[in-house]
Structure 1
Amino acid sequence: MKLKRNDIILIIVVLIIGIAAGLYFFLNKKTSGKAVLKYGNNLSMDIDLSKDREIDLESNGIKIHLNIKDGAIAFIHSECPDHICEQFGYIKNVGDSAVCLPAKASVTIVK
């Protein structure tokens, strides 16, 4: 099967659109200076990500340790049985979340 001139033009146009869309999403990933921590029975805490620090608290009878570093936040240690929350690593982009289900704690990056 031989490609015609219009087929080649269509392929080039689709590639250009795909590359442009990829660059748009890659370059517009926004980092934020704020996170919201929800824990326990409807408790909430706004966290400024511009200052490096550590936060220790207890939620649902489980001690959790959060670390804020270079505008990002992470669950560093949790006394929960599975430690899945620690595997999220540092999050910093708007909309990113990390959750510790046994502790009923979540961190979400907001605008």
Structure 2
Amino acid sequence: MKLRKNDIYLIIVVVILGIAAGLYIYLNKKPGGKAVLKYGNNQSMDIDLSKDNKINLESNGIEIHLDIKDGAIAFIHSECPDHICERFGYIKNVGESAICLPAQASVTIISE
């Protein structure tokens, strides 16, 4: 199959748009200064990410441990069976979330 001139132009435009979109997303990531932890029966907690801290609590009968360090937060240990929440790692950009489904707990980064 032979590429025509217009096909090459279309490929170049699509590649340029993809690079531009990727750069836009990458450059507009904003670190948040605050996180919202929702857990248990509609309980909620605002967390200041500027201070290093550890949070230990029980949600839905499961003990969870969160670590706040360098403006980021992470589930560092959970007694749930799958430990998927621990694999999210540290999150710090506005809009990022980490969730522990068995414990019914979620952390979302918001702007201040």
- Shorter chain as denominator, the TM-score bin is 0.7 to 0.9
Cα separation, partners in 2 of 1:9 and 1:71, compared to 1, 3 Å: same
Q: Which residues of structure 1 form unaligned runs of 5+?
A: none
Over the matched positions of the two proteins, sequence identity in percent amounts to 80
SS at match of 2:21: helix
Matches within 5 A, 1:3-82: 3-4=4-5, 8-82=8-82
Which range moves more in the overlay, 8-17 or 91-100?
Answer: 8-17
Q: How far did residue 13 of structure 1 move?
A: 3.6
Cα separation, partners in 2 of 1:81 and 1:15, compared to 1, 3 Å: closer
User: CA RMSD of the aligned region, Å?
Assistant: 1.7
Amino acid at match of 2:97: S
SS at match of 1:63: strand
- Cross-structure match for 2:88: 88
After superposition, give the CA deviation of every residue in 1:38-88 in whole Å (9 maximum; x if it has no partner).
011111000011111101111112111100011110001111122111111
Amino acid at match of 1:99: I
Give aligned pairs, total: 110
SS at match of 1:93: coil
Amino acid at match of 2:15: L
- Cross-structure match for 1:109: 109
- C-alpha separation in 1, matches of 2:93 and 2:75: 16
- C-alpha separation in 1, matches of 2:63 and 2:3: 66
- C-alpha separation in 2, matches of 1:87 and 1:28: 24
- C-alpha separation in 1, matches of 2:13 and 2:80: 51
TM-score (structure 1 length as normaliser): 0.86
TM-score (structure 2 length as normaliser): 0.86
- C-alpha separation in 2, matches of 1:101 and 1:17: 37
Q: Which residues of structure 2 form unaligned runs of 5+?
A: none
